[in-house]
Amino acid sequence: MSKMRVVQITQPNGPFELVEREIPEPAAGQVRIKVEACGICHSDTLTKEGTYPGIQYPRVPGHEVAGIVDAVGAGVVGWTEGQRVGVGWHGGYCGHCEPCRRGNFFACVWGQVTGITYDGGYADYMIAHSSALALLPEGLSAVEAGPLVCAGVTTFNSLRNSGARPGETVAVLGLGGLGHLAVQFAVKMGFKTVAIARGSDKEPLAMKLGADHYIDSQAQDVAAELLRVGGASVVLATVTNAEAMSAALAGLAINGKLIVLGAPHEPLEVPAFLLIAGRRSVAGWYSGTSIDSQDTLSFSRFSGVRAMTEVYPLERAAEAYDRMMSGKARFRVVLTTGQ
């Protein structure tokens, strides 16, 4: 077999097209991955709608990839055919630019993003830079692994670097694709975990995921409720609603931190006195690089953290994408290639 199926976008806002292509060969520093599963992330809109600057079309989206290394290019060290791997948003780093030399690989000026600067995982095969690879442990299926290398690493890595210590209170704002993983990670890391979402219907889910406390942001004063349980060392904001983020700020404990993961269009309102008087802070967090994804996969494997998924075959990518965009999916939509 020398042909493969890919689902591509040929222009901004164009439809998904299922086409056949030659199976590509990996160049130096690259590997070819036989894709088993690829999660659909809201950030795939950047490729679909062309809102990420400089995308060259046609482009295959997909940065929640799980599969098997199938061919290894020249000069690749440490990766061999047959290894199970994941590839997330971070599409690789050069190792020699200034941010890389300072250890900030996530900020590499090379700027490789899977499914955006090169073709991603809505395909039977894809080529990835070897620095983008995370080793996938036995015991996690490809469908389980896909969402963990984007939604998973974003929440796991921000939480583990948040400065909060086991036993302290972490509040997760939003209970969707990111939030339902964030609650599980917070619980397994030993935080007293508060889930915040709109309406009472998500309370049973929050409790099932292990949360200690649920706040219905439509019926309750979020900040007051957080203070009632002692204040949050961290509020992990997975929503894209600036107002909801601002409303949680006053619920931060002394030295507490609002960590912004979702990207609202409108600016955040932050009362300066709250920051000064309680030495509180607002920070953003970039999801992570390949080794962070690998740690996420490993932690999830042994702690039992799993995304709830809805699975579609690759050829129904358009329908699966619409399902993700509807906001009704519980909670991550994943494509499978059947190989």
Question: Where along the sequence are the contacts to Zn ion (CB under 5 A)?
Answer: 41, 43, 93-94, 97, 100, 108, 150
Q: How far is CA 94 from CA 109, 113, 219, in A?
A: 8, 13, 49
Work out how close the CB of 221 gets to Zn ion at its nearest, in angstroms, rounded to a whole number: 32
Cβ burial of 117 (10 Å; 0-12, 13-18, 19+) is middle
With a CB cutoff of 8 Å and minimum separation 6, the contacts of 4 are 20, 21, 22, 23, 123, 124, 125
DSSP-assigned states of every residue in 266-300: SPPP--HHHHHHTT-EEEE-----HHHHHHHHHHH
Work out how close the CB of 47 gets to Zn ion at its nearest, in angstroms, rounded to a whole number: 11
Nearer to Zn ion, 23 or 94 (CB): 94
Work out how close the CB of 234 gets to Zn ion at its nearest, in angstroms, rounded to a whole number: 21
Work out how close the CB of 310 gets to Zn ion at its nearest, in angstroms, rounded to a whole number: 16
Q: Cα separation of 177 and 150, whole Å? A: 10
Nearer to Zn ion, 35 or 108 (CB): 108
Nearer to Zn ion, 149 or 197 (CB): 149
Tokens of 134: 């995370």
Cβ burial of 73 (10 Å; 0-12, 13-18, 19+) is middle
Element holding 65 (H helix, E strand): strand 65-72
Output DSSP code: residue 114.
Answer: B
Cβ pair 146, 173 in contact under 8 A = no
3-class state of residue 93 by DSSP: coil
Work out how close the CB of 208 gets to Zn ion at its nearest, in angstroms, rounded to a whole number: 24
Nearer to Zn ion, 174 or 256 (CB): 174
Nearer to Zn ion, 226 or 314 (CB): 314
Nearer to Zn ion, 47 or 246 (CB): 47
Q: Cα separation of 280 and 231, whole Å? A: 12
Work out how close the CB of 118 gets to Zn ion at its nearest, in angstroms, rounded to a whole number: 15
Nearer to Zn ion, 41 or 148 (CB): 41
Work out how close the CB of 42 gets to Zn ion at its nearest, in angstroms, rounded to a whole number: 7
Tokens of 227: 């203070």
Work out how close the CB of 60 gets to Zn ion at its nearest, in angstroms, rounded to a whole number: 15
* Separation of CA 223 from chain center: 27
3-class state of residue 197 by DSSP: strand
Work out how close the CB of 121 gets to Zn ion at its nearest, in angstroms, rounded to a whole number: 11
Q: Cα separation of 185 and 155, whole Å? A: 8
Tokens of 143: 């469908």
Nearest to 293 by CA among 141, 180, 135: 135
Cβ pair 75, 51 in contact under 8 A = no
